[in-house]
Amino acid sequence: MRSDANIAGPMTDPVPGPRTESAGDGVSRETPPPMDDTPIGRAAQLAVEALGRAGEGLPRPDQTRVMVVANQKGGVGKTTSTVNLAASLALHGARVLVVDLDPQGNASTALGIDHHAEVPSIYDVLVDSRPLSEVVQPVPDIEGLFCAPATIDLAGAEIELVSLVARESRLQRAIQAYEQPLDYILIDCPPSLGLLTVNALVAGAEVLIPIQCEYYALEGLGQLLRNVDLVRGHLNPDLHVSTILLTMYDGRTRLASQVAEEVRTHFGKEVLRTSIPRSVRISEAPSYGQTVLTYDPGSSGSLSYLEAAREIALRGVGLHYEAQHARTGSQTSQQSVSEGIQ
């Protein structure tokens, strides 16, 4: 089924497996499941089936949806959301590419992708015009998921790009020239609004903003939104904020529900109904080079990312999402807990 013969990359050894009970082997499916015989990928696939959703066949977009995961604040869940949503979409049967645009390379690490200094990376694509196909690697254990890794070289790209022609649209060109069929490209941005993030905003039509449910959640977002407006006005007329994802939601705290309320008041329908709970499993997974989908497929973090991915897929084709579980907690307080969008 796979036609990615030109995508070369190392298959790393499987890392410690999930602890979740499996749902048995005889589960019927209507959509072709990822053909993944690795134990980890298989366990994750069973978790998708356990949700009772795999057989529904999530709609695939007509065209590749390029989603820019951005928020110039660090630590809000950009990388975590990028890799786990990408893995979820792939487990739902889509073909997905993660572009790691953060010199820290956290997305590459979390996907188990080698990204030491010698590895062909997104730096080579942006600065040396190397074809994207030469740097993309398949993600171990998850069929249909690929990654263009970032190495530490990328830290210099912000400066090196300044003097290059078409410095804002180099990623866009590379993506346009990439011939492998893809349903989604998720771009993990660094925590800044420099040229790397601008390249992402020019390359994609959709912006996905993860917002951490904490005090000052909306602080600084105004600057991101103004940049989105600027890029839309000058470089990419299709660009829009399509998706807001609430992350690290702790339903036991009043603060989290107040922040969620605040965000929903500001953004309305862009906010996904599924929010991502604060979960130890989510934060542990990257140190095993895994997403939470394979690290602990049955955990609340895993299931919430699968749900969020499902919501994103349905929205992409204009369908309504029916929440299976109320995950967003009570949102009754009108009290303002953030400084508002500044």
Q: Which does 137 bind (CB under 5 to 8 A by kind): Mg ion, ligand ADP, none?
A: none
Nearer to ligand ADP, 54 or 274 (CB): 274
User: Which span (20-28, 177-185, 261-269, 272-280) binds ligand ADP, by CB under 6 A?
Assistant: 272-280
Note the maximum CA span of the chain: 58
Residue ranges binding Mg ion (CB under 5 A): 78-79, 106
Contact between 283 and ligand ADP by CB under 6 A: the answer reads yes
Cβ-contact 226, 220 below 8 angstroms:
no
- Shortest distance in whole angstroms from residue 304 CB to ligand ADP: 8
**Smallest separation (angstroms) from ligand ADP to the CB of 83:** 8
| For ligand ADP, the closer CB: 18 or 93 | 18
Residue 279 binds which entry of ligand ADP, Mg ion, none, with Cβ cut-offs from 5 to 8 Å by kind?
Answer: ligand ADP
- Counting Cα atoms < 13 Å in the Cβ hemisphere of 272 gives 30
Kindly identify the residues of this chain, within the stretch 176-205, that bind ligand ADP according to CB under 6 A: 191
Render 137-201 in DSSP notation, one character per residue: EEPTT-TTEEEE---TTHHHHHHHGGGSTTTTSHHHHHHHH--S--SEEEEE--SS-SHHHHHHH
Own/partner contacts of 222-227, CB < 8 Å, gap of 24 or more, are 222/341, 222/342, 223/72, 223/193, 223/342, 224/70, 224/71, 224/72, 224/193, 225/341, 227/193, 227/197, 227/198, 227/201
Q: Which is nearer to ligand ADP, 80 or 227 (CB)?
A: 80
Q: Which residue is nearest to Mg ion (CB)?
A: 79
Cα separations (Å) of 213 from 85, 90, 155, 200, 304? 18, 27, 29, 25, 15
- Using the minimum distance from each CB to ligand ADP, give the nearer residue, 89 or 282: 282
**Least distance in angstroms from the C-beta of 81 to ligand ADP:** 7
Contacted by 247, from ligand ADP, Mg ion, none: CB < 5 to 8 Å by type: ligand ADP
Site residues (vs ligand ADP, CB under 6 A):
74-80, 106, 191, 247-248, 276, 278-279, 282-283, 301
